[in-house]
A and B are shown apart, each in its own frame.
Chain A
Amino acid sequence: MLIFCARRILLALLLVWAVASAAFVLIHVAPGDETLVDFWGQAPEVREAARRRLGLDQPLAVQYGRWLSGAVRLEFGPSSLYSRPVGALLRERVINTAILATTALILAAVLGIVGGLYAATHTHGPGAWLARTASVVFLSTPPLLGSLLLVLVAARTGWLPPGGMSSDAGAAWWARWADLALHLPVPALALALPLAATLERVQAESLGGLLGQPFMNATRARGVRERDAVLRHAWPVSLGPVLGLYGLMIGTLFSGSFVVEVVTAWPGLGRLMVDALRARDLFLVAGTAAAGAACLAVGTLLGDLVQAGLDPRIREGR
């Protein structure tokens, strides 16, 4: 188990390094840098001086070495867009994205698994039809469309704040939490619904395939109630394929949160990255890429460890 963990962590670190370096090199090779925006229309000497101050006139290898040696100490240089250290910016934004993504993941899991249980045990009638329709519709509502629609509903009805993460709610901790809870549903639902539909389909299929199996008939023959037979005997077995989706969901969640954050003005990592890319804020782009890769790596790592804990075959590397 220890070797397994170490290998996975090493791989995760490698991924973070590769993505961050790729972003750093790509954005430096790309035409234009932050001084182009900041010193628009000014004398070339002024811009050149700024480039020298930021170290942008050095060869790429030197810049990269300097950046990397800072990055291992979690210092990612200054952001010209926000006039703040990139590290501090990243810390707040990563937390915001994590709040959104975790909420969406929990929502998707609850909705998807409950829906899947229902769909597997009810294969006829209006309820089954409704479940199937809902899952196809939600499957076809990617976060971009879902968030636009939910923002529209929120803005027209006034039930929920359509955007942002907080409004002026006072300093009391409970008021701030209540405020956050009000702002969460729109982005979290937009993110969760297509995922919930995927989970629902997989859960329904894997459970549906088990209900006619001999072990289920044996369970029923021993006089176990149908409800207990499904929930306590079939359901745990059916969770395998559902958990297998986790790795896929982390990537989807990540891409989705990018879009949702931009549409609903959620101050997260995705939004920061779009702003950084637009402003050609070099250090911020590299920093957000590193943070994004780190989030992805941590999410995948957690999933791997959970699966390894549940399944000895994975743990032993077979």
Chain B
Amino acid sequence: MRPARRAVWLLAALAGVALGGPWLAPYNPSAAHRGYVHAPPMWPRPWEGFAIHPVVLEDRLQQRFVEDRTRTVPWPWAQAADPVFLLGADRTGRDVFSRVLAGARASLGLGLLAVLGATALGALLGAVAGARGGLADEILMRVADFVLILPVLYVVIVLRAVLPLVLAPGVVFLLMLAIFVLVGWPIVARGVRAVIARERLAEYVIASRAAGAGSRHVLWHHLLPACAGHVAVQASLLLPGFILAEATLSYLGLGFPDTVPTWGTMLREAADINELSRFPWTLAPAAAIFAVTLATNAALQPVTEIARSSNPTSPDLQISR
């Protein structure tokens, strides 16, 4: 499959997860189950016909649970009397599995929308710079270069931190979206500009012009379609960086409030070393972020290799780290 097509499929699949994830969650992600604080993961056992054993609280003070091997419970979606936590429960007895699924909407959704925004803005500005040339080109690319040399995470954190700390979740979402688009567009813009500046002088474009096509027609029907593949790949490479930025901001307490389940706010529990080492399943959202990053890198790595070997200092990869 061509890389651009792989990128589009990947983004579509992740959008599906973001939309369908919360719907698949067996429990309310904010519901605290009494008596199940820090309950360990209950795994279906393949060698016992995927049976799940319930856990029983053994020591409330130590938060120690034992597995009751004599009983089996149905899968969590059956909503039986005993709750079943596939990935364990967190410090208030909420189902980590449901929270990871529900958090996909905020984390992945924010990332995907930011990718869309950065791509649209970057493509627009890159097209203007490439097609117009001259002063507009010079100014736009200087600004893009300046944004690119800044360490992205620092900029995002400073921008977020100078704004009021306590905001409604919806406002936080829009704010982070705006910040991500602001730091993400130059990567797309530079690529689009480079493609357009090259294609502008290609024979088919000159032929089209000679046949009487206006500059708008050339831009929409020849130049922008020529960038599509490049843009699709670049856009998907931005995604892991945005997801990670959300996680980092929320982890630092500068992102979503704790009441909203996102992968970042969930990771805040892992900030406590004692808690992290005793209840490692608090890292479940980290595994989700890793999975998305790995999928992106595995699907698009050959492309980044080509891009890098032709221009090793290309900043394409900066934000994904």
Tell me the A residues contacting B by CB distance below 8 Å: 23, 26-27, 29-32, 136-137, 139-145, 148-149, 151-152, 155-156, 162-163, 194-195, 198, 201-202, 205-206, 209, 240-242, 244-245, 247-248, 251-252, 254-256, 258-259, 262-263, 273-274, 277-278, 289, 292, 296, 300
Q: Are A149 and B308 in contact (CB under 8 A)?
A: no
Tell me the B residues contacting A by CB distance below 8 Å: 149-154, 157-159, 161-165, 240, 244, 247-248, 251-254, 267, 270-271, 273-274, 276-277, 280, 283, 286, 289-290, 293-294, 296-298, 301, 305, 308-309, 312-313, 315, 317-318, 321
Q: Are B283 and A148 in contact (CB under 8 A)?
A: yes
Most buried by A among B157, B240, B305: B157
Q: Tell me whether A248 and B276 are in contact in the complex, defined as CB-CB below 8 angstroms, given that A136-B301, A148-B270 are known contacts.
A: no
Rounded to whole angstroms, the CA-CA distance of A202 and B317 in the bound complex is: 12
Rounded to whole angstroms, the CA-CA distance of A269 and B163 in the bound complex is: 21
Q: Are B276 and A256 in contact (CB under 8 A)?
A: no
Chain A: minimal CB distance from B320 (Å): 8
Q: Are A136 and B298 in contact (CB under 8 A)?
A: yes
> CB < 8 Å: which of B150, B271, B317 contacts A248?
B317
Rounded to whole angstroms, the CA-CA distance of A29 and B158 in the bound complex is: 13
**Considering only CB atoms, which chain B residue lies closest to A251 in the complex?**
B151
B315 surroundings in chain A (CB, below 8 A): 248
Q: Are A194 and B153 in contact (CB under 8 A)?
A: no
Q: Are A258 and B308 in contact (CB under 8 A)?
A: no
> CB < 8 Å: which of A30, A195, A209, A258 contacts B162?
A30
A248 surroundings in chain B (CB, below 8 A): 313, 315, 317-318
Q: Tell me whether A198 and B317 are in contact in the complex, defined as CB-CB below 8 angstroms, given that A205-B308, A259-B153 are known contacts.
A: yes
> CB < 8 Å: which of A23, A145, A162 contacts B286?
A145
**Considering only CB atoms, which chain A residue lies closest to B276 in the complex?**
A152
Q: Are B286 and A244 in contact (CB under 8 A)?
A: no
**Considering only CB atoms, which chain A residue lies closest to B160 in the complex?**
A277
Q: Are B158 and A277 in contact (CB under 8 A)?
A: yes
Total number of A-B contacts with CB less than 8 angstroms? 133
B308 surroundings in chain A (CB, below 8 A): 201-202, 205, 241
B321 surroundings in chain A (CB, below 8 A): 142-143, 194-195, 198, 252, 255-256
Q: Are A251 and B301 in contact (CB under 8 A)?
A: no
B293 surroundings in chain A (CB, below 8 A): 140-142
Rounded to whole angstroms, the CA-CA distance of A175 and B222 in the bound complex is: 68
Q: Are B313 and A148 in contact (CB under 8 A)?
A: no
Q: Tell me whether A254 and B151 are in contact in the complex, defined as CB-CB below 8 angstroms, given that A136-B301, A152-B280, A206-B309 are known contacts.
A: yes
Rounded to whole angstroms, the CA-CA distance of A151 and B274 in the bound complex is: 10
Closest 3 CB pairs of A and B: A155-B277, A255-B153, A241-B312
Rounded to whole angstroms, the CA-CA distance of A281 and B313 in the bound complex is: 37
Q: Are B158 and A289 in contact (CB under 8 A)?
A: yes
> CB < 8 Å: which of B157, B161, B276, B297 contacts A136?
B297
Q: Are A141 and B301 in contact (CB under 8 A)?
A: no
Rounded to whole angstroms, the CA-CA distance of A241 and B308 in the bound complex is: 9
10 contacts between A and B (CB under 8 A): A136-B297, A136-B298, A141-B293, A142-B293, A144-B244, A194-B321, A241-B312, A254-B154, A256-B153, A256-B321
